[in-house]
A and B are shown apart, each in its own frame.
Chain A
Amino acid sequence: MTKYIIRRILTAIPIMIAVVFIIFMLLQVLPGNPISIMMGEKAKPAVIERVSRELGLYDPVLVRFGRYVWNALHGDFGRSYKLNRQVSDLIKLSFPNTVRLAISASLFAWLMGIPAGIISAIKRNKFVDHFVMAIALVGISSPVFWGAMLLQFVFGFKLKLLPLSGYNSYKHMILPAIILGWASAGSIARMVRSNLLEVMKNDYIRTARSKGLKPWAVVYKHALKNSLMPVVTLMAIQFAGMLSGAVITETVFGIGGIGRLTVDAINNRDMPLLQGATIFSTLIIIIGNMAADIMYSFLDPRIRDR
């Protein structure tokens, strides 16, 4: 098992290096001087010139890459052009909110999605099944900003039950969690349902039934574990995706998370911040996938023996 984990970690390293290189190069070939875009209409050419020179923007690209990697290895990801703070500090300040959002949204998704999927599978082709699957479909296909504004309007503006914006109490976390979790819950429910139905066709389920077990016990004790395996992968990837930022949810609800940080960096051509945030998100995704693989191997010994 340990060997398997080490192998997975070792394969992640070259991926990470490649990602850093590709992101850096892509950002360098973008046209235009980031300082002139950042300063916009009011920029004075002489100031753009001086600031660009001071930031080393006129050095050859490989020199800049070397400097970036060297500094990054020393824990220095540079200073944001726009926000004038250390990139690592900006990520450190934003990530906790993203983690809170991801955990609350995932919990919502799991607590809603898994039971909904099970109920749907048990009541296959009954009204409950159609009803649950319809809601799941709405969850998956409705645009986040629409749902977000709707909930905000009803619960925040009209009923005044929950805050409209901000992120400094549990009350602030409810609406964003529902919005972000809803789509995930939908896909989880659909996946649980189809896997469970698949598993229920197996011989050992028939055996369990013929032993006289109650239907819920058949599902819970025998079918569920096997049917959850692919769902775990989905959940891990979804969770890692949420950790790399949920731009629309963060924007509508005014949450200072990684997603907004990244999008603002893109809009402002804030190279150091964009590099730092993208590398960080990549890292999260790699780790999320790795965690899913490792869990998989826990659940299914055949995988790690392969």
Chain B
Amino acid sequence: MKKLSLLLILCLLLTSVVGCGGEKAVEAPAEPAAETPADPAADPAAEAEEKPVASGKFDDGYPENVLRLGLQGELESADVQLTTADYTIPMNIYDCLFEVQPKDDGSSEIVGNLATDFEVSDDGLVYTMHLREGVKFHNGEILTSDDVLYTVDRMLNPERMARNSDSMSMLKGFDAAVEGEIPTMEGEGIVIIDDNTFEFHLTKAFSPFLANLCVPGFSIYNREAGDAADEAGGGSDNSQFGVLPEYTIGTGAFMMKDWVLNDHIYIEKNPDYWKGPSKLDGILFKIVPDNETRRMMFESGQLDEFDLDDAREQIPYYMESAEWEDNVIIGNRVGTFYYHINESIAPFENVLVRKAMQHAIDKQAILDSLYGGAGEVASGILAPGMMGYNADLPKLEYDPDLARELLAEAGYADGFEMTISQTTDSPNTLSLNEIVQAQLAEFGIEVTIDQMDEASWFDVRRTGALPMYTTSWSADFNDPDNFLYSFFTPANSLNRSFNYYNTDAMARVEAARYMLDHDARMQEYQDLEKLIIQDDAAWIPLFHLKHIWVVSDRVNNYVPFWAGWSGANYWGVYLD
């Protein structure tokens, strides 16, 4: 007995601690998924254990003709109505009615996708949509107008808590629907004519409406699939749509197959895709939180793509290395970095001071030192690739003499003290702020960087009292409204703490949403951009960054997608 004491101690320790539930937890995933479809715990881990490992070139057990991509973190949900950020997988498993296509000259256009074409009534209030015929969902159902109605109803049902419901706020009946007063938009914002024709009814002639329909958040769902997913979870408050792969159904080029929490997601080719099947067998998204691990996996061939957003300091290495320079892909980000100036904090009520700041910061130097020069200095609000982007906007050059002149004219020749605020957990923002701090010191402007925890930062910002800060905005949909209306309205200007004083300009931003003449509307946005940024100096525009990836040798036809979000559709990609 004594001889066994050590062994006994170890065994006891192990069994008593693990026995509390640990052992059960280990075994639980081995239950057959088919018997307990409502139990998300059962399915994915079991599949993970069955996978053959370390076979062939890859150690993940999936076929070779699979595109392997790295994800930094777990998805919020594959139900795109429950996210405002995780668009990559939705963009490959669902389709929208329309999509944005980048053109060779860097601009972009809206083209039909699940909708083939449309007509707008003269007053701009009724959009008649024609759906593509014979499009099949992954569950075999055929796409009809009723599926579009279901998608909208689902998005506006308050119990579903959709994160992007406001994108449909121009539809008739929206307010009643989101308050739960009407169960369906049929006969209100949507009128079904037949299986392939329906109308959107708007309360006002909202010009960016079509652009809104291209956002992944408005991917089209299938009613049968949605109902089945609700039933599997025991009700709409625990729907398994976007949770369990077999219930996550779309019309897209790929179908959800495996999802192992915090490990990987696999989507496989949809053989019935209406544009024709992808040349890939599937796409494997490996969830690898550590940037350096992801980089090593890319360089050792376990991943086919590495997003240099995750290792900006490596941009020069990849761009210049003989091994990788031909594999670098550069795309427009359709986004703008800028500083907000709070006009209610002295001395920023003075437009001369704000203009001086615009010329005192050397944006090119920041771009070069922090982002490897990958981008261009901004002079306005809209980013390249955006509808209405004005390449001829006068440049806001770095001009220390002019800045000094403006400061002197404003009565601050010796500078002043000011605060830049930021959240505590953003080292990149801190580097940027520190450079600006040093640059402004040249003008006698003494900057204190005030770091706050994120929650307090958002809280103070909402009250309009947050000092100057930097952030970026990237396009959600391809219309200038997405940029200008998000900032330059009285409510948003207060919410975002810059207290822009020019109410006339803000009224024009509101009015521009409802202008029907497209060319006149774009002209109005360009005029407003000049007025707000260059005449009123409400922002300090910094730069438009490029988005840079490096891909493995076997990847072909990797075209950066038009999107402010970082997702992409990989239908056209193929591997050697």
A interface, CB within 8 angstroms of B: 30-33, 36-37, 39-47, 50-51, 54-55, 79, 82-86, 89-90, 92-96, 99-100, 103, 106, 110, 114, 149, 152-153, 156-157, 160, 163-169, 171, 221, 224-225, 228, 232, 235-236, 239-240, 243, 251-257, 260-261, 264, 267, 269, 283-284, 287-288, 291-292, 294-295, 298-299
Contacts and interface: CB of A to CB of B under 8 A. Distances in A.
Most buried by B among A103, A165, A225, A299: A165
A43 B461 CA distance: 13
B261 interface: yes
A276 to B, nearest CB: 14
Contact of A156 (B2, B6, B300): B300
B478 interface: no
Nearest to A291: B16
Contacts of A298: 12
A37 to B, nearest CB: 6
A89 B455 contact: no
Contacts, number: 212
Given A89-B39, A100-B26, A169-B54, 4 more contacts: A46-B166, A168-B61, A225-B5, A294-B16
A298 B12 CA distance: 10
26 contacts: A37-B458, A39-B84, A40-B85, A46-B166, A50-B158, A54-B159, A83-B76, A89-B39, A89-B40, A99-B18, A100-B26, A149-B293, A160-B300, A168-B48, A169-B54, A169-B59, A232-B13, A255-B262, A256-B74, A256-B262, A256-B287, A264-B74, A283-B20, A284-B20, A292-B13, A298-B12
Interface string B32-65: 0000000111001100110101100001110000
Contacts of B21: 95
Contacts of A99: 18, 22-23, 25-26
Contacts of B243: 84-85
A228 B6 contact: yes
B264 interface: yes
B309 interface: no
Given A55-B161, A84-B82, A232-B9, A95 B16 contact: no
Given A42-B85, A153-B296, A93 B41 contact: yes
A276 B166 CA distance: 31
Contact of B471 (A41, A89, A243, A261): A41
B297 interface: yes
Contacts of B159: 54
Given A43-B84, A54-B161, A99-B22, A299 B40 contact: no
A39 B163 contact: yes
Interface residues of B, number: 87
B17 A165 contact: no
Contacts of B99: none
Contacts of B25: 92, 95-96, 99
Contact of B293 (A31, A90, A254, A256): A254
B10 interface: yes
A251 B458 contact: no
A288 B237 CA distance: 35
Interface in B281-324: 286-290, 292-294, 296-297, 299-300, 302
A31 B296 contact: no
A39 to B, nearest CB: 6
A83 B79 CA distance: 10
Given A92-B25, A254-B290, A261-B262, A84 B242 contact: yes
Contact of A94 (B14, B75, B261): B261
Most buried by A among B17, B237, B299, B425: B17
A261 B263 CA distance: 12
Contacts of B17: 236, 239-240, 243, 284, 287-288, 291
Given A89-B41, A287-B17, A295-B16, A84 B76 contact: yes
A265 to B, nearest CB: 11
A99 to B, nearest CB: 5
Contacts of B165: 47, 50
Most buried by A among B21, B40, B41: B41
A166 to B, nearest CB: 6
Contact of B458 (A32, A92, A240): A32
Contact of A103 (B5, B18, B41): B18
B164 A47 contact: yes
A257 B25 CA distance: 12
10 closest Cβ pairs, A-B complex: A256-B262, A32-B455, A169-B53, A92-B41, A291-B16, A84-B77, A93-B261, A95-B25, A254-B288, A42-B84
B70 to A, nearest CB: 9
B575 interface: no
Given A84-B82, A251-B290, A291-B17, A157 B299 contact: yes
Nearest to A36: B458
A160 B301 CA distance: 11
Nearest to A54: B161
